[in-house]
Amino acid sequence: MVKVTIDRPGCISCESCWTLCPDVFKQNPNDDLSEVVEQYQVDGNPAEGEVPDNLADCILEAADSCPVTVIVVED
Ligand code: SF4
């Protein structure tokens, strides 16, 4: 299991994470910021996810691509 958090207030909606890793990240329709897809949210928190290991590479790629480095990954 991979833990991922998004410091959502710092997101600038560059679209990189949800383009590279749409299985884990999506754009919130209300505030346009990145969030974890509902399936992997922890306690309904859009900023926190627990994601299966097979998606680790995709999450890391998305985190590396974030221009404001607001995606933090722990495994
Ligand atoms: S890559 Fe970073 S700035 Fe871009 S949408 Fe995702 S969280 Fe926001």
CB-ligand 1 contact for 14 (6 Å cutoff)? yes
Q: Are 45 and 25 within 8 A, CB to CB?
A: no
Residue 25 three-state SS: strand
**Alpha carbon distance 6, 18 (integer Å):** 12
Which residue's CA is minimally distant from atom 2 of ligand 1?
Answer: 66
Q: Which range marks the domain in which residue 50 is found?
A: 2-74
Q: Name the residue of 4, 8, 14 to mutate for ligand 1: max ligand atoms within 8 A of Cβ.
A: 14
pLDDT tens-digit profile, the chain (75 residues): 999 999 999 999 999 999 999 999 999 999 999 999 999 999 999 999 999 999 999 999 999 999 999 999 997
- Give Cβ neighbours of residue 54 (< 8 Å, ≥ 6 apart): none
What pLDDT was estimated at residue 35?
Answer: 98
What pLDDT was estimated at residue 18?
Answer: 98
Q: What is the domain count for the chain? A: 1
What pLDDT was estimated at residue 75?
Answer: 74
What is the CATH classification number for the domain harbouring 40? 3.30.70.20
